[in-house]
Every structure is written in structure tokens, then in C-alpha cells.
Amino acid sequence: MNIHEYQAKQLLARYGVPSPPGEVAAAPEEAGAIADRLIAAGEKRLVVKAQIHAGGRGRGRFKNGSQGGVRLCSTASEAAAHARAMLGEVLVTRQTGPEGRRVNRVLVESASDITREFYLAVILDRAIARPVVVLSTEGGMDVEEIAEKHPEKIVREPVDPAAGFMPYQARKLAARLGFTGDMLVSASSLIVGVFRTWWETDATLVEINPLCVVQQADGHASLVVDAKMSFDDNALFRHPEIREMRDLGEESPLEIEASEHNLSYIKLAGNIGCLVNGAGLAMATMDIVQSVGGEPANFLDVGGSANKEQVKAALKIILKDPGVQGIWINIFGGIMQCDIIAQGVVDAAREIGPLEVPLVVRLAGNNSDLGNQILRESGLPILSADGMEEAARKVVEAVTCCR
């Protein structure tokens, strides 16, 4: 699960990580009121930032032609005008794809007087099975771009999970950024806070780009100017307050529908819808579709012990994807009984109405004979297949010949 910048900043603040003062707004008047409060508190310059689950907003462009999802201003009426220009509009950045994302909220913040920009992230490195703190003296740009142009400027600090992130590691990193004296102390504590946020919230990613040195009335300070966070979905039950931050408006409607039925569904670009039980079999199914020249339209795992209702829901979800031109249901009956699946398929097909795309079903294992019999006797135009490869070829051929 991903969250918005303003939510990531709220979480980071709980671990003592500072970001500029600001609030989120869903309407222009609200943005104006926040700006008024910031100005009354002594802020001179403000920034209005579109809140979408994608980066590159600063250099993004709205579909209506207007430029930039990150805009500076200095009065409340300007802040309200920027909010009006962004809210309800679709912002396209290099991370959103051409369809872009609709902006439903903006963050109105005090604009920082930035003197230097850095990159700081915490990730899980699966190869070494450890968290790694990643740092670069080049901030503001994409990390991929930094890695390409200035690989020597990226520092990686692995963390021993048994010992935890040691204070000397934070100081070493802060020193790499060129900090000395009081700034070294405050930057180290910021880095420690970022790591604690990652660790304690079961995050899979915290990315701060840029982390900035800003000029303030009483000297310099380091602040989080942009933040992105992702979480391990399997750990969200431990963090109900983070689960509340989920924004369904940022997720694909079919993926939301699937999660309501406890199905793991990921939409892909191809034309062959796959309905499979078990994640391993689902991966193998996608592989074999590709190896016989097809393109899967999705990953869909109904789980090892799905019921008839889940199979129905799964088939409906696949059929709602306009890209699907053929479907392959690939079931291995272990705990799952193939006849239950077959009945679910038949019921769903009857309920949905005439099937407009070819459907190939391969059942193996527990009660497969009974399952195949139910399919045959249903009178539905279902192509059955015995092996994986035969099924894959049948569905790919059916799709190719019908086009």
C-alpha cells in the first residue's frame, strides 16, 4: 500500500523527523484558509503541491495544458488560485503513465528557502536480507538518473537487523553529506528518525527526495521537503491507523473489487485473462501463456481454498477488463475441490450472460472428473484441456483465430 506525501510527512513527524509546516486541502477556499494561517504565523513564501501517488509532479503537466503540480506563491489568494487550477484536474508526470492521475487534494506548505538538496531512502535489500539506508548528495532528481549519471555519489549503508541502526552509522552518513557541528547532530537524528519510521511501521520504502538544507531566520536546518512511503500489505493488520490512510481513488477499480473478495489480482497489459488457484501456479500459468506466444491480461490467485462465490467474483472481474479476449481457468485441486470450481464457473457464466470470449478450463487433482462432467453437461461453450501446455495453446489459438 502507498500513501500520499502529506501522510508520509505526518508519520515521519511522529518519529521526530521535521518537515515544513503545512496542511492538506480538498477545496480552494480551504487552501486559502491554510495559507492565511501560515502567513499569520510569519511565513513569507508558500508552496501548493498536488497530492497523487506518483512523483515527478514538479515537472508534470495537467491534461488541460497548465504546468506543474508544485507551485510557489506568497499570498493566500494565489494559493487558492493554484489549488483551484489543480483540484479535479488530471496531472500527467513521467511516473503516472499517459492516463495521469486526478488531483483530489493539495498540500499547502511553507516554502523552504533551499540551499542544498539530497536523496535519502530506506529499502529492504532482499539479496543481503537486510534494510539498507541509501543516500546521495544529488537530490531532487530521480534516483535512477542519479544512479546512471553519478553512481559514485550513492552511498549504501546496510543495517544489521539484530543490532539495529547504530548512531555511528547515522553520523557517518551525515558526514558524507558534508555536515559538521550542530548540523551533523541534527542531520544524524533526522536519519535515525527516518530509519525508525521505516522499521516500526513495517514500511517497504521510505524515500525522501529531496531532503533539504534550508535557510531559516536563526540559521540552517535540514528538512524533509518531499516524502514517499510504501508498506507491506501483510503487516497492515498491525497498523490500523496506517490502513486508514489508504486512498482507494489511487487504486485501479478492478483491484479494489478483487481485494473486497480476498482475491489477489494484478492487472497486466495482455489479452488472456487467467484465473488460477495458488500464487505459484498463477506464475507458472503466466509463464506458459507467454512461452506459447500469448500475453496474460492479469495475475489472479483465488487462493488455495476458494469458494464458489470467489470464483464467480473472479470471473466477473476478468470479464470487466476490456482488454481480455480469452480466458484460461487453471485449477489444481488440492484442498480445493474441482467440482466446486466447475460449479462456480458454470453459475457465473450463466449469471453474466452469453460468454463473448473463448473460455478454456483445465482442472487437475481433487474431484477433477466430477468437475469436467459438470462443465460438459452445462452446455456452455467451454473448451476443456488436460495439460498446462495444451490449455495454453488452446486459449492462445482461440484468441488469435477470433481476432
State in angstroms the smallest separation of the CB of 208 from Mn ion: 8
Name the binder of 70 from Mn ion, ligand GDP, none, CB < 5-8 A by kind. ligand GDP
Task: Identify the residue among 70, 159, 242, 374 touching ligand GDP (CB under 6 A).
Answer: 70
Name the binder of 114 from Mn ion, ligand GDP, none, CB < 5-8 A by kind. ligand GDP
Q: Does 226 bind Mn ion (CB under 5 A)?
A: yes
- Size of the residue set binding ligand GDP (CB under 6 A): 16
Closer residue to ligand GDP (CB): 225 or 329: 225
State in angstroms the smallest separation of the CB of 159 from Mn ion: 24
Nearest to 287 by CA among 386, 363, 389, 403: 389
Closer residue to Mn ion (CB): 86 or 300: 86
Q: Does 334 bind ligand GDP (CB under 6 A)?
A: no
Closer residue to ligand GDP (CB): 206 or 363: 206
Residue bearing cell 488436460 = 386
Longest dimension (CA), the chain: 82
Distance between CA 141 and CA 231 in Å, rounded?
Answer: 23
Task: Identify the residue among 4, 9, 53, 57 touching ligand GDP (CB under 6 A).
Answer: 57
Distance between CA 171 and CA 176 in Å, rounded?
Answer: 9
Sequence-distant (≥ 6) Cβ neighbours of residue 303 within 8 angstroms: 262, 263, 264, 277, 278, 310
CB 121 within 8 A of CB 143: yes
H/E run at residue 80: helix 76-86
Distance between CA 246 and CA 237 in Å, rounded?
Answer: 13
HEC string for 20-54: CCEEEECCHHHHHHHHHHHHHCCCCCEEEEECCCC
Distance between CA 79 and CA 74 in Å, rounded?
Answer: 8
Task: Identify the residue among 55, 131, 270, 278 touching ligand GDP (CB under 6 A).
Answer: 55
Q: Does 47 bind ligand GDP (CB under 6 A)?
A: yes
State in angstroms the smallest separation of the CB of 116 from Mn ion: 15
Q: Which positions are annotated as active-site residues?
A: 119, 207
Task: Identify the residue among 209, 285, 368, 384 touching Mn ion (CB under 5 A).
Answer: 209
Task: Identify the residue among 226, 298, 392, 393 touching ligand GDP (CB under 6 A).
Answer: 226
Q: Does 48 bind ligand GDP (CB under 6 A)?
A: no
